[in-house]
Each structure stands twice: as structure tokens, then as C-alpha cells.
Amino acid sequence: MGDVALISAAAGIFGATGFMEYAVRGRSSRVFGPSVYRGDRTRPALALTFDDGPSESTPALLEVLARHTVPATFFMCGSNVRRCPSIARSVVAAGHEAGNHSDSHPRMDFRSPEFIYREMALAQETIHQTTGAIPKLFRAPYGVRWFGLRAAQQRLHLNGVMWTVIGHDWKWPAPRVARLLISYAANGGILCLHDGRTLERAPDIRATLDAVEMIIPALKERGFHFETVSQILCPKT
Ligand SMILES: [Zn+2]
């Protein structure tokens, strides 16, 4: 069944508005293409993910992660990679995973399949050319998915990734962010934070840095270890 047929059939059952809201933004929705929001529930592994960078503020975060020897996954915007190419390279050089977070961070709803593909392809090309890494993961800006995403993901060999819990680190103080992330952390959890503010230069990510400093030791103490999203999804046995 194509996207349109599937959606109209389901909308008839669930009610159009509620269903579309879920289809577009629901963390477990696969309506517009394959997507995951957590990994293996049997392993005490967590993935820290950082969206909307790289930015001039990312090196401070790399320093924190290096000090704790924790790998993470960075969902990068292509336009930020072109602005901060050496920072993008240092993310990958430090052993972190690079994911695709579109080129200019638009909302994808009500956009054409061509627009969606171009946004994703341009970011993919930029990240590859700049860092040498070929992203395997895509996180939709604002978690908003739409018609055409499934085909674009397929064409670019990208797997959709949402999150188990999102930190609200762009607006909350660090202790509140840390409390939220710690309380929702469970086996295979994918935690979402931000090392950029969409396309903003030198954003203030103090709350993010402080929250990361708080959660890493607290979660290690609870028996968790940290992996990249690809490791969480395909654990080596
Ligand atoms: Zn974002």
C-alpha cells in the first residue's frame, strides 16, 4: 500500500486529525518511512544524541565527552557543516557518529517530495565531502515527517531515528534537563540534546554542557554505558 492509501485507510479508523498528528510527529510513527526511537531493551546501553550542530560551541561539548570517554551521535545540518567544517571533522575524528539532520532545518510538512529529498541529499553530500563519514541515520527537523520521506530515506540509505526522551535543553536549566533524562533513561534509550540552535552562530549551550556533566556519572552509576546510535541498533555480539 502506498503512503496515501495507507494514511486514508488509517485516518478512517482513528479519526483524521489525531491520526495525522501521530503520523507526522509521533516518536513511534513509521507512517512516512522506517524509524526507530529506542534500541535493544535487553542491554543497559544508552545513546546520547546532539542535534542542530555543528556550531562554534560544539568543541566544548567534545571536551566533556572526551573527558568521560563517552561516544555520541551528532545529527548535523549541512549548512552548519559548511559554516564550521573543521568542527564537523573534529566530531568525526573523535570517534562520534555523524547523522543527517537536513540541510537548513526546515519543517518538512506540506513540502514537496523533491524539496524533502534535496534537503536530505545536500546534507548527506556536505557531511560526506567534509568529514569523510557517510551518515546512515536521519533525524527529521522537529521530528516532523511527511510524504516523500520514505523514498528519500531509501534512496540515500538512511534509517530514521527519533528519540526516547528529548532534553528541552534549549529552554530549561541544566538540573531540570538532567532530572528528566535520568528519569526516562532505560535500556536502549536514545537521549536527545542539542549542540546547536538550528542555524544560529555560537549558541549558548551552557545548560546542555552542564546537563551532560551531571547525567554521565549518574547514569554510569546506575549501570548504563554509552554507545553510538548505530551500535545501539546493531549491537556486536
Ligand atoms: Zn533539530
| β-strand partners of 161 | 36
CA of 196 to the centre of ligand 1 (A): 8
Catalytic residue among 3, 51, 52, 169: 51
pLDDT higher for 147 or 14?
Answer: 147
What tens digit of pLDDT does each residue of 171-198 get? 999 999 999 999 999 999 999 999 999 8
CA of 13 to the centre of ligand 1 (A): 32
- 51 assigned to active site: yes
Give me the chain's average pLDDT, please: 94
CA of 7 to the centre of ligand 1 (A): 26
Residue-level pLDDT at 235: 81
How far apart (Å, rounded) are the C-alpha atoms in residues 197 and 55? 8
Catalytic residue among 96, 103, 194, 195: 194
The three cell numbers locating residue 64: 566533556
Quick check: 97 and 137 in contact, CB under 8 A? yes
CA of 71 to the centre of ligand 1 (A): 20
Average pLDDT of the segment spanning 116-124? 98
Q: Inform me whether the pLDDT recorded for 1 exceeds 60.
A: no
5: Cβ–Cβ under 8 A, 6 or more apart, which residues? none
- 128 assigned to active site: no
Residue 53, phi then psi, degrees to nearest 5: -95, -160
